[in-house]
Structure 1
Amino acid sequence: MLKGSAREGEAALSFLSVFLHELSLTVAQIPQNGRHEARVLDDMLDTIQRVFGNKWMITLDAAYTESGLTGRIIEAGGAYFVPLKNNTRILKEWAELAFQYPSVMTYQDEERCSGETWIRTTSTQTEIPEDILLTLPAAQTLIRREHHVTHRDGHVTHEVRFAVSSVLLTAREAEDVWRQHWSIENRSHHRRDTIFYEDRCRLRQGAQGLAVLHGILLTLLQAQTRQLTDLVRRLSVPDNLMLAAS
């Protein structure tokens, strides 16, 4: 979801976008216009099918975890990967119960970043409770993702999350999909705001066209360097120097 700043008496502009991980490119986009995200995405499914045919998987946030939308995704020839959070509490409880039995497989990785150590353990279960199948048709894999984070000060945090996919996934595949989904924040949203200041944009006419142009420019720039946001920060000119130059 791309959002711009609000103006007095007006709601902020927001566009629901489909982001293709392989190209780091926004391939479809539609204004939200005050509608729930799930309803906007429903309107985009025909476009997605025309672009990608019948073999694609869409990763979603918990706001989209409902039978109507996931059923439409299956009808359109696609597959889904959706998390189970507190807004789907009953489904989450069923997932917790399912993982009291041995998982089909488990994958673990460790990452050190900015002085922190992350240990992630991803497990999959293919025995899907009936209550989950009634809400999320064609579900084939339950995913449990547990991570321990050791912070710089030695403090340790622990969290367990759950997701469901209509694709039969190994634990390693499930971890890869999950990490790709959350990389959208860094690979698209954060870069759009850092480079193009989209969150502060007050444009109304032509805003959707400008957002599309930003997506294309990002793809071209990212093809040249992986350190795009760091480069932009280094190239930033202090306000006092710009005033002196003028």
Structure 2
Amino acid sequence: MSIEVRAEHISKTLNTTVALTGVSTVFEAGIVHGVVGPNGAGKTTLLRLIKGLLKPDEGTFEFIYHGKVCPAQEAISRIGYFPQEPSLYPDLSVWEHLEFFRDLYDLNESDFRKRAEELLAATGMAPFKDRPAGKLSGGMYKKLGLMCVLLNHPALLLLDEPTIGVDPVSRQELWDIVYNVAGPEMTVILSTSYMDEAERCAKVHVLQDGKLLADGQPQSVMENLHVTNFAELFLKHE
């Protein structure tokens, strides 16, 4: 069962920078959400707040799990977080990383092997499971980090600009993986500054200068704001 997140009037200041101001939105369960905006819009801050790595200065988050409000700490334990730059060990192989996270998540051996083989097949990484992380391409490195996060079957997956810095083919492959794992058992919230990726999401949450410009289905957002694409939207609001 996936988690729904309701944000109410979220504000956050980091040092002297106002990162978010009065953001209210709903991340419905079981679909792929895009938090879309240029650099400095507040995307990473919002994801870190949802994960509990930061606390809001104002406002609250409500987590809905199995149809009921879930205590924040219980919800956070079911959240997988993928940062912009996953921290992997260059000398450990792909398989050794999966074993490391098996122990971290305290998975039993049979469940671990089944899940690991599923992820290796889904990502196309099976032929490279003995390769050290330090010798992986940028796209493969991101896939390994994503596998490590997915190993524990999170009910909510937070992806902070997962496609940044990778080639176009790897971008497409990462999106395919996201849609393969999304569904009734997992909510996905993905941040991106690539405007063309906004339209791949079931719902978008558009941020600029820490404020929510709009949210909803991509086509509806564009129609309501009288633009033909998301790049035009941000140019219009500069």
Same fold flag (TM > 0.5): no
Larger Rg: 1
Greater relative contact order (Cα 8 A, min sep 6): structure 1 or 2?
A: 2
Per the normalisation by structure 2, the TM-score is 0.36
Normalised to the residue count of structure 1, the TM-score between the two structures is 0.35
